[in-house]
Structure 1
């Protein structure tokens, strides 16, 4: 099973994570249009609510597109980001069945039965489109105000971004390939699926998740000093080609980017005022401030912190560099970072730990629904730092730091008070089946 790519976004869960956090960073406009009556997020003048759906979640987690609807998330989201699309070594958007690199089976080949389909209709053998892409299209038909974005890159698949963005010719080729594949929907033929225009209408825009231009990311990700200027040019090229297509189609295709917390990474990779002119919004890293590979149990998503990474610090860093507040969308985690073997007494926070806590999908990474069950077992005590806006649970040995409904409510108030652009979720499959977290976030943003 492939690990969630955001699990490694920034410092990463690796043996040297502490050094990475100190030296690198902790990782990863048009207003939303109105839509379905009665939906708070789809109403007029609402803040953006952006949720990531993970391609690989349909396997071990068995989290299907249908679950976005059944949980109540679809009616509360303004944007759904599909994670992820890859960049090939040739510098083009990549599609196929290549283990660890691309999964056309999940994307558009896999047939779904009636029980797992958004509209209750089973796929047939002769459909040109099936899999997640068809379900996303059905989800949009049911929730007309929902925009679906293809998110390109992520921690594992940012390997070739620098090469793709390096020259004017490479940028034009890269952008054209992504628009052709995802926006125009010209999918490669695969097992009777795909073909010209087969996925047209699935995606409403593109989310750039290059981790990170100008500074270190995953072990095989190329980065160069010139990435900073090249990212600006790449954003401009995406805007140019999307607008050209939009003019012909009489519509606006959105363009967003996921951006980091650490000021060193911001300055190495982003000409902030220039890119913000061409981006509809950016989603700010609001989690993985500390990760379970570090030797000390610590907060991963605090709203405020003295001399440490925090949501507020991230917002201020982007505002100070010229980003408009209305285009800043604050990332929130629907998962926790966990440590075990925590010693030193007290409530566990800031104490030495032996290593990542055991969890269902990956040690040190626990879905909110999994952590909620630990609390309900009675073995863990919930602790809160009310001043700084974060929570953790501790049983005397194992500690998990995470966002629960109370934390999300406070973050929503912060977004409104600062007149920011909204909130982003990584990732929807961590929530409870009845959408406990998305409902709390929505109530806070739109209440």
Structure 2
């Protein structure tokens, strides 16, 4: 046995100190941080992010003062009360509990612009910057000696857009047929690396319930190795095939992508009228479908594409202005805070138009974001014209209808108290066109729709860019005149302008219809991604 001396004990103790034995990890306090999402001079959109420290939070309350003459008119994701210039925000029932290190944000609109910060901010009675907010008592930790065997490191998933803007694209279920656009094409054309979210279109709403649109395309069709995301062919006895299995493989390869199942659309919106009569039953059916054991865990949320609540689309709905709000509330209650709930809505910015028919602002606290469909304003559904761009960003002299442009829709929605950060700008990856046109400038007469590959009056951008190249721009988008046909569509250049607009207005990002219309090297989605940086 080796003899232990007093000196050797002292030396051993000295060696222990650098290893951290008996040292304590300092507690990190909870904080609340104010930032300004956008400012348009006459008003502003603010955001406060609450972050738990070393200990979890079971609830939170943020309060602060504003400079005299500045006021807040509306808030979301928190309950607001005010007394003079003092404002208090308390968590909702679904976002009060925060695990250690987790964060949540709430927002508000106010006036006038120019606010640089808030005053006397407190989080649960302590300073918002963490001073005077001690957190839990630190627990002693032991730092182990270094193992000579290297520990594998995990590379974190990087959001495709470091700005945090959303890039959301529709993937159509039926694209697997005539269009031959498969999930693998999202890898081949570079879209998968740029998308933050995919909307799978569409689920059906017949009978006021969520149901599968096309079972064969969704989960039965077998893919060859050549058409499979991972190069592995489906077997006849695989428990899941079809688009769903390919999307599962895509998410494994690109774990940053979130997948949302979209229900309704132009053809299947009629079922929402019955759903609105019993929102809870509708929500139950949707939750059960998204969690079907065959594809459980595939979908990160649900999207409602109701065309249009309390207004007319393919059919007319008379459920009233609260129907949409009630439906979204039921979905949020059923799916909880951990799943995405989104909606594609009308972009009719005219006075007394479809936006005014529904209380979209009343639903926004239960939605992660709204997607006003800022396209299809004009087209050969008016066969004789006048020719006009289907997706104008702004108005222009001679536009056929006031309020039928993207900016009008965004301004109307924000004026109703919907935060700009919860709005995405819509982009069409296609054009709309007329035939029998004699003038290149907008406003000409026509004799009918221009011929298209799959449908008269509509053509993919990937075809139009060479078939009928752009000859001019109007209202922030492009148009083309060739051989008596007049087309309007967005190009990489006009998309860059629209993304600059989205950033200047503080929008949450952009979405597009739909993935198969882009070029094989992803020209349009690249323009969106670059424009939002």
- Please classify the TM superposition score into its range, dividing by the shorter chain length: 0.7 to 0.9
Aligned-pair distance for 1:381? 5.3
Residues 1:266 and 2:355 are matched in the alignment: yes
> Aligned equivalents of 1:381 and 1:278: distance in 2?
41
Aligned-pair distance for 1:348? 3.8
Alpha-carbon RMSD across the aligned residues, in angstroms, is: 1.6
- Partner secondary structure for residue 251 of structure 2: helix
Aligned residues: 372
Residues 1:422 and 2:509 are matched in the alignment: yes
CA contact (8 A) 1:117 1:135 kept: yes
Q: Write the deviation string for residues 334-376 of structure 1: whole angstroms up to 9, x where unpaired.
A: 0000101002x3x24110001100010101000000101214x
- Partner secondary structure for residue 336 of structure 1: strand
2:178 alignment partner in structure 1: 60
Residues 1:237 and 2:319 are matched in the alignment: no
CA contact (8 A) 1:137 1:201 kept: no
CA contact (8 A) 2:157 2:255 kept: no
Q: What is the aligned counterpart of 1:371 among 442, 446, 464?
A: 464
1:78 alignment partner in structure 2: 196
1:203 alignment partner in structure 2: 299
Q: What is the aligned counterpart of 1:394 among 472, 481, 493?
A: 481
Residues 1:325 and 2:420 are matched in the alignment: yes
Gaps of 5+ in 1: 1-28, 96-101, 187-196, 247-251
Residues 1:382 and 2:471 are matched in the alignment: yes
Q: Write the deviation string for residues 51-98 of structure 1: whole angstroms up to 9, x where unpaired.
A: 000011110000001111111111111110000000122x21123xxx
2:287 alignment partner in structure 1: 179
> Aligned equivalents of 1:310 and 1:255: distance in 2?
26
Q: What is the aligned counterpart of 2:410 among 286, 311, 315?
A: 315
The alignment's TM-score, normalised by the length of structure 1, stands at: 0.80
Residues 1:88 and 2:217 are matched in the alignment: no
TM-aligned CA distance change 1:39 to 1:273, over 3 Å: closer
Residues 1:299 and 2:389 are matched in the alignment: yes
CA contact (8 A) 2:348 2:403 kept: no
> Aligned equivalents of 2:183 and 2:502: distance in 1?
28
Q: Write the deviation string for residues 367-392 of structure 1: whole angstroms up to 9, x where unpaired.
A: 000101214xxxx552123xx31111
TM-aligned CA distance change 1:122 to 1:396, over 3 Å: closer
Greater Rg over alpha carbons, structure: 2
- Partner secondary structure for residue 319 of structure 1: helix
TM-aligned CA distance change 1:431 to 1:231, over 3 Å: same
Aligned-pair distance for 1:404? 0.5
CA contact (8 A) 1:381 1:395 kept: no
Aligned-pair distance for 1:396? 4.9
Q: Write the deviation string for residues 178-224 of structure 1: whole angstroms up to 9, x where unpaired.
A: 11111x1x2xxxxxxxxxx1101211000000100001110xx3511
TM-aligned CA distance change 1:395 to 1:308, over 3 Å: farther
TM-aligned CA distance change 1:374 to 1:174, over 3 Å: same
CA contact (8 A) 1:36 1:145 kept: no
> Aligned equivalents of 1:356 and 1:333: distance in 2?
18
Q: Write the deviation string for residues 86-124 of structure 1: whole angstroms up to 9, x where unpaired.
A: 0122x21123xxxxxx31000001110110011111111
- Partner secondary structure for residue 80 of structure 1: strand
2:490 alignment partner in structure 1: 403
More helix by share: 1
- Partner secondary structure for residue 321 of structure 2: helix
TM-aligned CA distance change 1:408 to 1:109, over 3 Å: same
> Aligned equivalents of 2:416 and 2:428: distance in 1?
25
CA contact (8 A) 2:432 2:488 kept: yes
The alignment's TM-score, normalised by the length of structure 2, stands at: 0.68
CA contact (8 A) 2:346 2:373 kept: yes
Structure 1 runs of 4+ off > 2 angstroms? 35-41
1:357 alignment partner in structure 2: 450
> Aligned equivalents of 1:152 and 1:336: distance in 2?
24
TM-aligned CA distance change 1:128 to 1:229, over 3 Å: same
> Aligned equivalents of 2:477 and 2:433: distance in 1?
14
Greater shift, 102-111 or 297-306, is seen at: 297-306
Q: Within 5 Å, which residues of 2 pair with 1:245-256?
A: 252-256=338-342
> Aligned equivalents of 1:308 and 1:340: distance in 2?
26
Q: Write the deviation string for residues 229-278 of structure 1: whole angstroms up to 9, x where unpaired.
A: 121111001000111xx6xxxxx100000111114111212x13320010
Aligned-pair distance for 1:37? 5.0
Structure showing greater relative contact order (alpha-carbon pairs closer than 8 Å, 6 or more residues apart):
1
Aligned-pair distance for 1:319? 0.6
Aligned-pair distance for 1:36? 6.5
> Aligned equivalents of 1:173 and 1:222: distance in 2?
22
Gaps of 5+ in 2: 1-76, 78-103, 106-154, 397-401
